[in-house]
Amino acid sequence: MKVADVGRLAETGKDQEESVTSSSDTLLGDLWADLKSNTSLHGLSRISTKKTVFHGVFWGAMTLFMVLLLIGAFVAYGLDYFSYETLINIKLTRQAEMTFPSVTICNVSPINISRVNQSEILNMYYLKTHIYGRFFHSFINISDPFYAILHENRTDSWLNETKFSKEKLFYHEEFEGQPCRLCFEDRRTDIGMCTTFNGLSNNPPLVSKLIGSQNGLSIFVFLDQNNYIYGENLGAGLLVAIHERDEEPNMADNSFLVSAGTVTYVPFRRIDSTFLPYPYKAFGDDYCTETSAPDFQNPLKHYKQYSSYACIRECRTRFIYKRCQCRHINDFGNETICTIAQEHTCVRKAKEKFDSSLSIKNKCKCPLSCHQVAYELDFSSAKIPSTKYEEYFSTQNFQDLSTNYIELRFFYHTFFVENVQQVPKIDLTSVLGNVGGYMGIFLGASLLTLMELLEVFMVAMFLISKRLIRKVKGNVISSEKNSRFPEAKT
């Protein structure tokens, strides 16, 4: 091939490349012109120099300024959205009937001293180790042979053997006017063996169909103070907690006292609280766990239902075992049970260390459930017996009503349930509304305008990429020709 022919081919390649570039530029120009004349975006159609250059520059600057304001608003709104702030909605709903909660009842004295061997020695120990006993008495020497009983091994059955039996504790009980002795079950709590009404084993659960003091749980309790020990509490009476059936009651810290020699009414109402799971914070800086979710796996070994306090109890059991190499008699597990001497020398300090340390509890990883049920309680009480009843009961061999007996009534005072629900401050509906509002304020645009701009952007990207591909191909062809006919360069 002649040099002149090669030159003509090279010129032809350049002409084709320039033709492709010119064609692409024309298409992009047409695309821009079509967008300006047909878009619903305010201000864009006025960006033109047909009238004056100032007119086009002014509208271009105004449109750009509005776009920047819109971007700034979107950034601020996005930061607000991803901060996951929440609001609390509260509403009341009325139920036709309601499931009665569980009621856990403990005698203030956790041990019936009459059912313990060498009761005098054990009672002396409890007196001297009580907070006030330690003030009035000298330090106890548990290595003294006098306290040999403190070193005896115990089994789980010890709690059942030394408890106040529910058969003697409850002199009379009824629910909505019907006897309900079988509705009570023994329960091992953090303060000892107690009794729960309407627990998990009571299936189906009892339902309250009417409100008022005559339509709930009524019990008449015999305390048997003669067989009390010198416990942590100086008083005589009951510790009571009202809770959900699948919740582990915290009798030590979340119960209320009912004094001996009183008739006490405990009306209550239900409060349902629902919180949002991660990434929303439900309790200050803490997250909750959806324990009702199908994929939730209960991590607890000794509780069929997860609750935060049950998790804490298991964690405390592990902590005590690590420190003392034994398990407290009130806890669940297969480890060796601590002797009373070990409780005195090691367990008490380990328990106090655990209970007073927030950092230790945080290591337990016991999140609260996203669904919480609480009962708002009211109390009213009066001393028993009245003068009239005192005369009557004296003839019925009841000589110590004011010191050994309690009448208790638990009942719903309303079937209105307070529903507390945590909701996102910004949800999908708010996002769509605010995005559309911002676009309308700044540019008079809508979501359809976004579709227009997206369409133009995609077409422009297609044309530009097509142009680049052809340009690259043209450069490759040109370089191949130059390498084959180097004399064409001259």
383 & 483 share domain: no
Residue with tokens 């307070």: 418
420 and 481 inside one domain: no
Whether the per-residue pLDDT at 107 is higher than 50: the answer is: yes
Torsion of the alpha carbons at 217, 219, 225 and 230, rounded to the nearest 10? -10
Q: Cβ distance 164 to 224 under 8 Å?
A: yes
Same domain, 222 and 280: yes
Query: What pLDDT was estimated at residue 444?
Result: 65
21 and 71 share one domain: yes
Give 311's pLDDT tier (boundaries 50, 70, 90): very high
Q: Are residues 66 and 20 in the same domain?
A: yes
Higher-confidence residue of 16 and 124: namely 124
**Are 78 and 189 part of one and the same domain?**
no
Residues 63-101 pLDDT 10s: 777 777 777 777 877 777 788 889 999 999 999 999 999
Residue 260 has pLDDT above 60, yes or no: yes
- Whether residue 343 is contained in a domain is answered as no
| One domain, residues 75 and 224 | no
User: pLDDT tens-digit profile of 22-75?
Assistant: 555 566 666 666 666 666 666 666 666 566 777 667 777 777 777 777 777 778
Cα–Cα distance for residue pair 283/373, rounded to 1 Å: 15
Q: Is residue 308 included in any domain, yes or no? A: no
Band the pLDDT of 9: cuts 50, 70, 90.
very low
User: Domain for residue 267, yes or no?
Assistant: yes
Residue identified by tokens 């107690």 is 194
Q: Cα–Cα–Cα angle for 476, 482, 487, nearest 5°?
A: 175
pLDDT in tens, 147-198: 899 999 999 999 999 999 998 899 899 999 899 888 999 999 999 999 999 9
Q: Would residue 484 count as lying in a domain?
A: yes
Same domain, 103 and 78: no
Are residues 271 and 204 part of one domain? yes
Per the domain annotation, does 356 fall within a domain? Answer: no
Digit-coded pLDDT (tens) for 338-355: 999 999 999 999 999 999
Q: What's the rounded Cα separation, in Å, for the pair 43 and 63? A: 6
For residue 205, the enclosing domain spans: 90-112+163-285+374-424
Count of all residues that appear for the chain in the document: 490
Residue 271: which CATH number?
2.60.470.10
Q: Are residues 72 and 208 in the same domain?
A: no
Count of domains observed in the chain: 2
pLDDT of 120 reads 86
Task: Inform me whether the pLDDT recorded for 103 exceeds 90.
Answer: yes
Q: Judge whether 358 lies within some domain.
A: no
The answer, yes or no, to whether residue 446 has pLDDT greater than 80, is: no
d(CA 386, CA 392): 10
Q: What is the DSSP letter of 114?
A: G
